Amino acid sequence: MNLVLPTVGVAALALAAFPFISLCDCGDDRGAVAANQQVSLTTAVAPTGDYIEARNVTVWGGHCHLNSEYDHQGDAALVAWAIDGGAFGGVDLAGVRVVAAVASGANLADGEARSSDLFVDATNDIQRAAAERWARTEHADALGTVAAVHAVPIAFEREGDHYRLAVDDLVQLEGSAIADRSCCTMTECRGYEPLMAEAGAVVGFADTLVFEGTETQVGWQYEGANSVFVTEFGAPQGCGGACACESDELPRP
């Protein structure tokens, strides 16, 4: 049975501009963490890992198609973090998976009030609580009012350009990033940017994209479209990411 913790928050205003950084694995020493998941605040680094965002709207395509969807699509998104290192509040978050189902009464690009459900897969209650605080603190404007928090199993896989996300029996997402990276060169066809990650994220195609909904979030389905962003988050500055349009040497299949 899912653990649901109702919470009360304040609806977000317009989406804030975040000071994004470029992404890569520069071989930096991220420091060791203690076995009990408590780490030194003086040596801990911010969480890093993979990021996937799926919208119920085409994010990259022809202008006519983008415009035709704007007023009746784009009011919901699934955002997912697979944390592979780093800490928050003195707690190691390596291995934690966090997903947010975000919704609004209008297209998310309009910046109107939002509500969200959080889904967290963590080893124990301490880690789960720290991950929830991280999401609320670092992504408060984009999440809006957090209506509920669910402790559920989350599968997050990324193998090259292919990705898969499963949240218990509530979310199924599978697809691949655009292999030729035309989403990076044909920026005039880019109708949206990610809510909570690098602006240069690579666009992906959704073969499967289903959200069954919860008591506080309406379910939706949007498949067969360029509706996904794929990138990394929290890596150090100084070089291009493995899956980001800013990279000078984008990986090719």
Confidence (pLDDT) at 134: 98
Residue 31 lies in a domain: no
Is 243 a domain residue? no
CA distances (Å), origin 197, targets 21, 61, 63, 125: 9, 20, 24, 26
Cβ atoms 14, 104 nearer than 8 A: no
The answer to whether position 139 is within a domain reads yes
Domain that holds residue 172: 3-26+38-233
The pTM of the full predicted model, rounded to 2 decimals, is: 0.77
pLDDT at 242: 53
At residue 234, the pLDDT reads 87
Residue 114 maps to a domain: yes
- Start-to-end CA span in the chain (Å): 41
Q: Phi and psi for 161 in degrees, rounded to 5?
A: -85, -10
Q: Is residue 43 part of a domain?
A: yes
Neighbour count for residue 197 (Cβ, 10 Å): 26
Q: What is the pLDDT of residue 25?
A: 34
In a domain, 250, yes or no: no
Q: Please tell me the distance from the alpha carbon of residue 2 to that of residue 163, in angstroms, as a whole number.
A: 25
Report pLDDT for 198.
61
Q: Is residue 249 part of a domain?
A: no
Handedness of CA 141, 1, 128, 172 (dihedral sign): negative
pLDDT at 6: 43
SS3 per-residue string spanning the chain? CCEEEECCCCCCCCCCCCCCCCCCCCCCCCCCCCCCCECCCCCCCCCEEEEEEEECCCCECCHHHHHHHHCCCCCEEEEEEEEEECEECCEECCCCEEEEEEEECCCHHHCCCEEEEEEEECCCHHHHHHHHHHHHHHCHHHHCEEEEEEECCEEEEEECCEEEEEECCCEEEEEEECCCCHHHHCHHHECCCCCCCCCCEEEEEEEEEEECCCCCCCCEECCCEEEEEEEEECCCCCCCCCCECCCCCCCCC
Q: How many domains does the chain have?
A: 1
Q: What is the pLDDT along the chain (253 residues), one digit of tens a residue?
A: 454 444 433 333 333 333 332 333 333 333 333 334 444 443 568 999 999 999 999 998 988 998 899 999 999 999 999 999 999 999 999 999 999 999 999 999 998 999 999 999 999 999 999 999 999 999 999 999 999 999 999 999 999 999 999 999 999 999 999 988 888 788 778 889 999 866 668 999 999 999 999 999 999 999 999 999 999 998 653 333 456 665 433 333 3
The first and second tokens of residue 153, run together, are: 């199993």
- pLDDT tens, 213-236? 999 999 999 999 999 999 999 865
Confirm whether 137 is domain-assigned. yes
Residues with Cβ < 8 Å from 30, sequence gap 6 or more? 45, 48, 85, 86
* Distance separating alpha carbons of residues 107 and 183, to the nearest angstrom: 21
Given a contact cutoff of 8 angstroms between Cβ atoms, the answer to whether 138 and 145 are in contact is no
